[in-house]
Amino acid sequence: MLFQRLLDMKSSILCLSLVLLLLIAAPLSAKDAAFDGEKLFNARCGSCHGVKGAGTGKGPPLVHRIYEPNHHADITFRWAVERGVKAHHWNFGDMPKLDGVKLEEVEAIIKYVRDTQKEAGIY
C-alpha cells in the first residue's frame, strides 16, 4: 500500500513536471517559429519581396497597407504560394506558384510577414 502511494506520487510529480515544461517551452517555440518564418521568408520570398518584405525591382513590398489583413487575408498568401498570382496591384508581372513549400512553412512565413507589418505600423 505504501509502495503504491509512493509510485502514484512519483507519477503525479512526473506528470506535473511535464506540464510545466510544456508551459515554459510554448513561448520559446513561438519565438523560434517567428525566427523560422524570417529564415524561410528570406530563402523563399526575399529575392523578389526584399529584406523584411520591403520589395525589390522584381516584386512588391509586402510591408505595405495594400497587404494588411483586412485587404489581403492570410488565405491570399496561402493561395499565392499554392496557385500563383496574376498581377493586379503592381507592374511586376505575375507571381508563379511556389512548388515544394510545406503548409507549416507557409504559415511561419505569413506570421513573419504579419509581425513585420505590425512592427511597421501597417495595422
* pLDDT tens digits, 21-80: 455 555 545 555 556 999 999 999 999 999 999 999 999 999 999 999 999 999 999 999
CATH code, domain with 86: 1.10.760.10
Instruction: For residue 103, tell me if it sits in a domain.
Output: yes
Dump pLDDT digits (tens) for 27-37: 545 555 556 99
Measured over the CA atoms of residue 115, residue 116, residue 118 and residue 123, the dihedral's sign is negative
Instruction: For residue 16, tell me if it sits in a domain.
Output: no
3's CB contacts (< 8 A; 6+ apart) are none
Total count of domains within the chain: 1
Instruction: For residue 3, tell me if it sits in a domain.
Output: no
**Can you give the pLDDT at residue 5?**
56
Task: Give the predicted TM-score (pTM) of the model.
Answer: 0.72
Confidence at 2, pLDDT banded by 50, 70, 90? low
Instruction: For residue 15, tell me if it sits in a domain.
Output: no
Per the structure, the complete domain to which residue 95 belongs is given by 30-119
Instruction: For residue 102, tell me if it sits in a domain.
Output: yes
**Length of the chain measured in residues:** 123
CB of 25 closer than 8 Å to CB of 33: no
**Can you give the pLDDT at residue 32?**
53
Distance between CA atoms of residues 105 and 34, nearest Å: 11
Q: Say yes or no to pLDDT of 119 above 60.
A: yes
Strands (E), the chain: none
Instruction: For residue 88, tell me if it sits in a domain.
Output: yes
Instruction: For residue 18, tell me if it sits in a domain.
Output: no
Instruction: For residue 70, tell me if it sits in a domain.
Output: yes
Distance between CA atoms of residues 116 and 100, nearest Å: 24
Q: Which residues pair with 85 in a beta bridge?
A: 95
